[in-house]
Chains A and B, each alone.
Chain A
Amino acid sequence: MFVMKLEKWSRLIVVVIGVISVLVLAGWELDAEWLKRPVTGTAGMNPLTALCFALTSLALWLRTPERSPRVRRTAAIAIGIVGILCAYRLAGIFMDLHAEIDEVLYRKKLALDMAAQRFSRMSLNATINFMLAGSAFFLVYSRRYHRIVIAQLSAAVIALLALFALLGYLYRVPEFDHSIPYLPMAVHTAGCFLLLACALLFANPRRGLMRQLTSRYAGSLIAKVLIPLLVLLPIAIGYIRLRWHWHGTVSVELGVALIVISFMLIFILLILYNTNSLNRRDARQKADAWRLQFYNEQLQAANFESAATNEELSATMEELATTNEELVTSNENLSILNDKLERAKETIRQQAEEIIRQKDDQLSEYRKNLDIIFTNTQEGILLLNAAGEVVLFNKTFDTFIRDNAGIIPKAGMPFLEVVMRARREVAHALFANAVAGETSQVEAHIDAPSGPLVHLLRYEPVWQFGRVTHVIIISSDITDKKAQESRIQQSEANLKAIFDNTPDAFVLLDQHLRVIAFNEAYSRNALNLNGKRIEIGEDIRAYVRNERISIFEKMIAEARRGETIQYEAPLREDANPVWFRIVITRVNNTDGGLRGYCLSAREITQQKEYENNLTTIAKELSGLIDNSNVPIFGLDRDGYVNEWNQVTSQVTQYSKQEAMGHPWVTDFIEPPYRESVREVLKRVIAGDAINNFELPIQTRTGERIMLLLAASPRYDAENRIKGVIMVAQNITELIDYRKGLERMVQERTRELNEALQKEKELVDLKSKFVSMASHEFRTPLSTISLATGFIRRYKERISGEEIDRKLDNIVRQIEHMNYLLEDVLTVGKTEAGKVNVNVQVVEVTPYFEVLAREVYLSSDKTHRIRLTIHCDRTVMATDPRMLRIIVVNLLTNAIKFSPGQPSVDLRVTDTNRTLRVEVSDTGIGIPDADRENLFNSFHRGSNTGAIQGTGLGLSIVRKTVDLLGGSIHVESAVNQGTTFIIAIPLHESKDDIGH
């Protein structure tokens, strides 16, 4: 009932809040100042705050657990709007936004308020309260306990903040006078928040923290009294104290002291009240409990009693009835039993007779079987009485005695008579022992006619009635068994001999590692193992040094799994360590189960020394390789570098660390050579040794070096190929040298070819000369021949002048031939390089004038030679004979190839050190096709036609110009003329020329 009331209170409060908010909004609309701020001079409720209250109250009114989801969604949207508005306002407060959300409604009226120093903004704590109320709204109807607690705590915080504001007004706190911005809250705002907090707390009063207040237990009842008191009393006391303070009747210090005292009083009174009520309640409860228990027990006791009495009564009744029935039945049974007893007596008698008969049969059967066994057993059995007389013996005994002693045993005869003479003493003693109650056993060696026999004789007393009445002698033939035993002993001895004499030490261990056996070698070698002498039955681990126990345990563990570990250790560590190789193997039972272990130790000191020597040799070898002054490196079977000596590092500039473990082919060989190198490596791995293959390698710095490699297989101890070892030679310089040689050879070959070419040209020249001579000499010779013939044949008929003319003709032909000859000789000399330059100083002008004159005369004065000289020097140092050859040839050619023309030109100029000679004609010119071979001997222009010539002139000119170190240049056009320009270096004196 009470709970229902609270929920109704919650809804009523919500309605009140809604009404207040609407009234405030109306106040803003109608400018009713008392609605905006009920206490003049304090802060007013912002229209936005009022709107938020309206929305929140709407949401809370709508939101109850019974509402439909659509209504709940509307409520959630209303709260969401409040949340967004408050978030905007918070942003406005903290980020100083200009467009404040709380100034949107009634902006102008708000501005007026602000101007009148009246505060009407939405405060910070109001904003926070709305956000708390929003979150509480969502959580308060949750089904989870802690969410509801959060909602109710939020409500409590809202209440506290509202109370704080109200107290501020009540106590006239000066800070509320707008001095802290965003802090003041209107009086009715605070009141509304207080109501809102109550509404939230009452919304779900049966759950969360509220449950503690709403239950009907004592705590809740007390809290319901205490909480309002604790809220209201301090407020009242604080107010009274302040009033005194305002009226100046009490000082601050006294005021505080009075407050403290009154708080103490209030708390103590409250606690006393609390304690009293609790104690009273508790006492009452306990008294009730006691009383309850007492009544209970009494009730139980009474119950028990009545039940017991009841049972007894019914039991007695039943007994009486039963006894009666039994009496009747007993009488009947008695007579029946009597009859049965008679019948049973008869049956038992019959059965007894039957059993006795069966037992008799069994006994006789048993006797028969015993007799069969007695008769047929392979053991001889003799039964004697205490007096030593034969009572009974079996067939085996009978046969044995008859065959071997020749005696026929009979019952009643003294047993010593059936004993062979040699054994009677022993037999007597044994018999005496048996009579005395002792069992004894002896091996009897009997010399039977069939050969020596061994019998096991057993003398056994037979007890009857506490004394020995008989003695049984049982004799079994153990001859074969004995022989077998001795064989086994022999083979054991042999094995032991082997076991003890083998140099390897053996210890057999049982499965618990206890020593079963060990051989001589072990006891000898392992004497001072851990300072103890080995004993059978001891745990072997007692003989193992502490530092080796873990290895030993591991070996045992491996052996148990069937694995074998070999362990090498210097077992006797004195001055000269003695090395042992220890092997532990599992020993199996016949069924395969673990029987124990065999530990063997072999001395391997020599082997170890050998190994050490090998290691030393290997180290030396490795050192040798490393320090060798040629590059040596090794690869494993997969081509990874595993050896890299210092010189290799120097040559390749890759350090050992950089090279080791790297694939050689891909990391150090240039791609074009990789395939062939792989081929080589494959062959070496197959067992070939490959020598002298050249391989270019790029060093770390990119330099290219040439290695001459010898690759051979590398073998391991089992003679298997384990890799490749390469010995290299850096032949980069050799290669360079070789290349130099090759270049030189090429140079020489070229020179030789040139010489050959020259030779060929000479041969060619000679053949051309022969051809030229045959033609050019035959023509003048013909003329001479005809002229002489003519004179001889017609000398009487012709005049003297005629003869003179013929003779002149002959002379001219001879001169012509002479020129030809001289030309040929000159060519020959220059070709053979036999011409020496002979520098002389000559005067320029007279020299050329004389030359021009000579040519003019010798060419039948057909052409005038126009000589122009423009020289700064008057004398020149050159070879005048050679210059003459050049100029005469050029002039003669100019005249010869310009038939019908009046003149040719000879122009001489000089520069600083050069003489320039130009010879021009206006003749037939030189076709372009002939330019190439213009200066070759015996070559004649294609347009020279009938103009006589040897083809030597220009060849001679060219060679002579070359000899003087000059140059020749030709300008020509067909049928227009040709100009040859010669430039010859000059010397001021003939001494300038070195030769």
Chain B
Amino acid sequence: MKAKTILVIDDTPDLQTSIIQFLNMEGYETVGAANGQEALDTLAHTIPDLVITDLLMPVMDGYTFIERIKADAQLRDIPVVVFSAKPDEESQDRALALGAVRFIRKPASIDQILDTVNEIIQP
């Protein structure tokens, strides 16, 4: 069985690297992107099984990104998990309304992230 691919979008290099490292350790294929635009570029040739995205990013923020893939028939079924430092309920509600399946608030432990990911897909 082919390993599942996860697209990790975060503008903080250290954090993006950290997430990718432990996902790899758990047997997931990963693709990194620094913002929404980069992610969309990646999605042109790679269809991941799951997307983990930050919200506040330069060039294209997470909200716009979610809107864009939900508007694309080929991409709209990809489950999106939001991993954001935004502390308010409003941001969470907005992201979920746009079509995100989960909202993880930074800072979170590896277990929290993995439990969420594993709940949606298996490696």
In the complex, residue of chain A having the shortest beta-carbon distance to the beta carbon of B109: A789
Are A784 and B107 also in contact (CB < 8 A) when A813-B14, A945-B58 are? yes
Chain B 2-31 interface 0/1 with A at a Cβ cutoff of 8 Å (1 = within)? 000000000110110011011001000000
| Bound-complex Cα distance A166 to B115 (A) | 174
In the complex, residue of chain B having the shortest beta-carbon distance to the beta carbon of A789: B110
Are B107 and A790 touching (Cβ within 8 A)? Answer: no
Chain B proximity of A810: nearest CB distance (Å): 10
Whether a CB of chain B sits under 8 angstroms from the CB of A302 is no
Chain B proximity of A504: nearest CB distance (Å): 110
| Bound-complex Cα distance A812 to B57 (A) | 21
Are A809 and B110 also in contact (CB < 8 A) when A790-B21, A794-B22 are? no
Whether a CB of chain B sits under 8 angstroms from the CB of A619 is no
Whether a CB of chain B sits under 8 angstroms from the CB of A424 is no
Chain A 940-964 interface 0/1 with B at a Cβ cutoff of 8 Å (1 = within)? 0000111110000000000000000
What's the interface size class on B, roughly? 20 to 34
Across-interface contacts of A784 in B (CB, < 8 A):
107
Chain A proximity of B63: nearest CB distance (Å): 15
| Bound-complex Cα distance A712 to B15 (A) | 90
Are B85 and A786 touching (Cβ within 8 A)? Answer: no
Chain A proximity of B62: nearest CB distance (Å): 13
Across-interface contacts of B72 in A (CB, < 8 A):
none
Are A783 and B87 touching (Cβ within 8 A)? Answer: no
Are B22 and A786 touching (Cβ within 8 A)? Answer: yes
| Bound-complex Cα distance A782 to B59 (A) | 22
Are A790 and B22 also in contact (CB < 8 A) when A782-B107, A945-B58, A946-B34 are? yes
Across-interface contacts of B105 in A (CB, < 8 A):
778
- Name the interface residues of A806-854: CB closer than 8 Å to any CB of B: 809, 812-813
| Bound-complex Cα distance A742 to B72 (A) | 68
Whether a CB of chain B sits under 8 angstroms from the CB of A629 is no
Whether a CB of chain A sits under 8 angstroms from the CB of B96 is no
Chain B proximity of A809: nearest CB distance (Å): 6
Are B85 and A789 touching (Cβ within 8 A)? Answer: no
Candidates B11, B21, B34, B107; contact of A781 at CB < 8 Å = B107
| Bound-complex Cα distance A946 to B12 (A) | 8
Whether a CB of chain A sits under 8 angstroms from the CB of B53 is no
Are B11 and A775 touching (Cβ within 8 A)? Answer: no
Chain A proximity of B37: nearest CB distance (Å): 11
Candidates A779, A794, A947; contact of B106 at CB < 8 Å = A779
Across-interface contacts of A779 in B (CB, < 8 A):
12, 15, 85, 106
Whether a CB of chain A sits under 8 angstroms from the CB of B101 is no
| Bound-complex Cα distance A787 to B15 (A) | 9
Across-interface contacts of A812 in B (CB, < 8 A):
14
In the complex, residue of chain B having the shortest beta-carbon distance to the beta carbon of A798: B25
Are A783 and B15 also in contact (CB < 8 A) when A789-B22, A789-B110 are? yes
Whether a CB of chain A sits under 8 angstroms from the CB of B47 is no
Chain A 909-952 interface 0/1 with B at a Cβ cutoff of 8 Å (1 = within)? 00000000000000000000000000000000000111110000
Across-interface contacts of B106 in A (CB, < 8 A):
778-779, 781-782
Whether a CB of chain B sits under 8 angstroms from the CB of A343 is no
Whether a CB of chain B sits under 8 angstroms from the CB of A650 is no
Candidates B35, B107, B110, B111; contact of A946 at CB < 8 Å = B35
Are A946 and B59 touching (Cβ within 8 A)? Answer: yes
Across-interface contacts of B58 in A (CB, < 8 A):
944-947
| Bound-complex Cα distance A199 to B106 (A) | 158
Candidates B14, B19, B25, B86; contact of A809 at CB < 8 Å = B14
Chain B proximity of A899: nearest CB distance (Å): 11
Chain B 22-51 interface 0/1 with A at a Cβ cutoff of 8 Å (1 = within)? 100100000000110000000000000000
Chain A 758-794 interface 0/1 with B at a Cβ cutoff of 8 Å (1 = within)? 0000000000000000111011011111110110011
Across-interface contacts of B11 in A (CB, < 8 A):
946
| Bound-complex Cα distance A775 to B88 (A) | 11
Whether a CB of chain B sits under 8 angstroms from the CB of A5 is no
| Bound-complex Cα distance A775 to B108 (A) | 13
Across-interface contacts of B12 in A (CB, < 8 A):
779, 783, 948
Are A778 and B85 touching (Cβ within 8 A)? Answer: yes
Across-interface contacts of B22 in A (CB, < 8 A):
786, 789-790, 793-794
| Bound-complex Cα distance A790 to B108 (A) | 12
Whether a CB of chain A sits under 8 angstroms from the CB of B56 is yes
| Bound-complex Cα distance A271 to B91 (A) | 164
**Interface centre among B25, B58, B107, B111, by most A CB within 10 Å?**
B107
Are B34 and A787 touching (Cβ within 8 A)? Answer: no
Are A778 and B110 touching (Cβ within 8 A)? Answer: no
Across-interface contacts of B85 in A (CB, < 8 A):
774-776, 778-779, 782
Across-interface contacts of B56 in A (CB, < 8 A):
775
Are B34 and A782 touching (Cβ within 8 A)? Answer: no
Chain A proximity of B81: nearest CB distance (Å): 14
Candidates B34, B35, B87, B111; contact of A778 at CB < 8 Å = B87
Whether a CB of chain B sits under 8 angstroms from the CB of A345 is no
Chain B 83-110 interface 0/1 with A at a Cβ cutoff of 8 Å (1 = within)? 0011100000000000000000111111
Whether a CB of chain B sits under 8 angstroms from the CB of A797 is yes
In the complex, residue of chain A having the shortest beta-carbon distance to the beta carbon of B19: A786
In the complex, residue of chain A having the shortest beta-carbon distance to the beta carbon of B15: A783
Are B18 and A809 touching (Cβ within 8 A)? Answer: yes
| Bound-complex Cα distance A515 to B119 (A) | 149
Across-interface contacts of B14 in A (CB, < 8 A):
783, 809, 812-813
Are B107 and A785 touching (Cβ within 8 A)? Answer: yes
Across-interface contacts of B57 in A (CB, < 8 A):
946
Across-interface contacts of A778 in B (CB, < 8 A):
85, 87, 105-107
| Bound-complex Cα distance A789 to B113 (A) | 11
Chain B proximity of A794: nearest CB distance (Å): 5
Are B34 and A790 touching (Cβ within 8 A)? Answer: no
| Bound-complex Cα distance A946 to B54 (A) | 12
Chain B proximity of A63: nearest CB distance (Å): 137
| Bound-complex Cα distance A789 to B110 (A) | 6
| Bound-complex Cα distance A812 to B14 (A) | 10
**Interface centre among A778, A784, A797, by most B CB within 10 Å?**
A778
In the complex, residue of chain A having the shortest beta-carbon distance to the beta carbon of B21: A790
Across-interface contacts of A789 in B (CB, < 8 A):
22, 109-111
In the complex, residue of chain A having the shortest beta-carbon distance to the beta carbon of B85: A778
| Bound-complex Cα distance A813 to B108 (A) | 15
Chain B proximity of A620: nearest CB distance (Å): 87
Chain B proximity of A727: nearest CB distance (Å): 71
In the complex, residue of chain A having the shortest beta-carbon distance to the beta carbon of B57: A946
Across-interface contacts of B111 in A (CB, < 8 A):
789
- Name the interface residues of A429-486: CB closer than 8 Å to any CB of B: none
Across-interface contacts of A775 in B (CB, < 8 A):
56, 85-87
Are A945 and B108 touching (Cβ within 8 A)? Answer: no
In the complex, residue of chain A having the shortest beta-carbon distance to the beta carbon of B55: A775
Across-interface contacts of A797 in B (CB, < 8 A):
25
In the complex, residue of chain B having the shortest beta-carbon distance to the beta carbon of A790: B22
| Bound-complex Cα distance A945 to B12 (A) | 12
Chain B proximity of A789: nearest CB distance (Å): 4
Across-interface contacts of A774 in B (CB, < 8 A):
85-87
| Bound-complex Cα distance A793 to B106 (A) | 19
Across-interface contacts of B108 in A (CB, < 8 A):
782, 785
| Bound-complex Cα distance A789 to B86 (A) | 22
| Bound-complex Cα distance A779 to B58 (A) | 15
Across-interface contacts of A794 in B (CB, < 8 A):
22, 25
| Bound-complex Cα distance A778 to B109 (A) | 12
**Interface centre among A786, A789, A813, by most B CB within 10 Å?**
A786
| Bound-complex Cα distance A785 to B110 (A) | 8
Chain B proximity of A648: nearest CB distance (Å): 75
Given contacts A778-B105, A793-B110, 12 further A-B contacts (CB under 8 A): A775-B56, A776-B85, A778-B85, A779-B85, A782-B18, A782-B108, A784-B107, A786-B107, A794-B25, A809-B18, A812-B14, A946-B57
Of the A-B pairs whose beta carbons lie under 8 Å apart in the complex, a sample of 28, sorted by A's number, is A774-B85, A774-B86, A775-B56, A776-B85, A778-B106, A778-B107, A779-B12, A779-B15, A779-B106, A781-B106, A782-B85, A782-B106, A782-B107, A783-B14, A785-B108, A786-B19, A789-B22, A789-B111, A790-B21, A790-B25, A793-B25, A794-B22, A794-B25, A809-B14, A813-B14, A946-B11, A946-B34, A948-B12
- Shortest 3 CB-CB contacts between residues of A and residues of B: A945-B58, A946-B58, A778-B85
